[in-house]
């Protein structure tokens, strides 16, 4: 009986884990902040669509306010809150065979540029940044549009592209393989991360607790240490 009670307790504990649908750029930080959760990392647009289709998520953490706002308007999530910010950078392979020194070097013919797909936060932020810098013409050099930011990072780190636009926080895990190039402040879009508890989730209490942890002093310290900005 004692063994049965222990087993039931363990099953109950395992069942209390919230399922978190989170932007790919949060892959490194979230499991360190809260190991006792199940994570699904992907592009924010893909995750929002899955939630619309009834996916069993408890918490949605997106790299843009666009998708939480849409789900909130549809009554699928509780009111979203901003918990972090980010900035964009340009990355090139460490060897930098195309000899790119600034974002303006992307105007050269023959550069192989990889970016996020349109509709994905990193893809939309990239297009806004290029428009702000009057560099929309460099989109002619795009050879690949990826479904999440980690795929952009991977292609550049593996030398399959000459350059790619990613978030600053994506660079640390691959810093031995890529070189980061800062972008002009006048081009930077406002990159805000929002979180929202999914109304149909079965672990809303745990989801709200994780969201509060992201907003707590300890959570903000972790986010800052990982390179995120704070709202």
Question: Which pLDDT value is given to residue 89?
Answer: 98
What pLDDT does 4 receive?
38
pLDDT computed for residue 15 by the predictor: 54
**How much is the pLDDT for 16?**
79
Domains and CATH numbers, the chain: 2-85+191-225 (3.40.190.10), 88-187 (3.40.190.10)
| Full pLDDT tens readout for the chain, 231 residues | 444 343 333 333 345 799 999 999 999 999 999 999 999 999 999 999 999 999 999 999 999 999 999 999 999 999 999 999 999 999 999 999 999 999 999 999 999 999 999 999 999 999 999 999 999 999 999 999 999 999 999 999 999 999 999 999 999 899 999 999 999 999 999 999 999 999 999 999 999 999 999 999 999 999 999 999 998
Burial 62-99 (b: 16+ CB within 10 A, else e): bbbbbbbbbbbeeebbbebbebbebbbbbbbbeeeebe
3-state secondary structure string across the chain: CHHHHHHHHHHHHHHCCCEEEEEHHHCCHHHHHCCCCEEEEECHHHHHHHHHCCCCCCEEEECCCHHHHHHHHCCCECCCEEEEEECEEEEEECCCCCCCCCHHHHHCCCCCEEEECCCCHHHHHHHHHHHHCCCHHHHHHEEEEECCHHHHHHHHHCCCCCEEEEEHHHCHHHCCCEEEECCCHHHCCCEEEEEEEECCCCCHHHHHHHHHHHHCHHHHHHHHHCCCECC
Residue that is written with structure tokens 């745990």 in the block: 206
Residues in the chain: 231
pTM of the model: 0.87
C-alpha dihedral, 17 to 19 to 22 to 26, nearest 10°: 20
Are 40 and 21 in contact by the 8 Å Cβ rule? The answer is yes
């Amino acid at each position: 009986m004692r063994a049965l009670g222990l087993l039931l307790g363990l099953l109950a504990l395992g069942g209390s884990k919230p399922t978190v649908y989170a932007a790919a750029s949060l892959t490194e930080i979230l499991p360190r902040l809260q190991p006792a959760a199940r994570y699904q990392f992907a592009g924010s647009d893909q995750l929002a669509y899955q939630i619309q289709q009834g996916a069993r998520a408890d918490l949605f953490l997106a790299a843009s306010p666009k998708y939480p706002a849409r789900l909130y308007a549809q009554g699928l999530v509780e009111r979203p809150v901003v918990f972090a910010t980010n900035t964009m950078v340009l990355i090139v392979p460490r060897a930098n065979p195309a000899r790119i020194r600034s974002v303006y070097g992307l105007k050269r013919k023959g550069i192989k540029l990889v970016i996020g797909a349109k509709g994905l936060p990193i893809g939309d932020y990239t297009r806004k940044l290029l428009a702000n810098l009057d560099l929309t013409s460099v989109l002619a050099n795009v050879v690949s549009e990826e479904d999440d930011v980690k795929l952009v990072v991977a292609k550049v780190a593996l030398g399959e592209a000459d350059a790619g636009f990613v978030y600053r926080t994506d660079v640390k895990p691959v810093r031995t393989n890529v070189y980061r190039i800062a972008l002009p402040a006048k081009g930077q879009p406002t990159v805000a991360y929002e979180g929202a508890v999914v109304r149909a989730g079965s672990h809303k209490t745990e989801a709200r607790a994780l969201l509060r942890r992201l907003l707590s002093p300890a959570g903000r310290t972790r986010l800052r240490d990982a390179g995120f900005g704070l709202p």
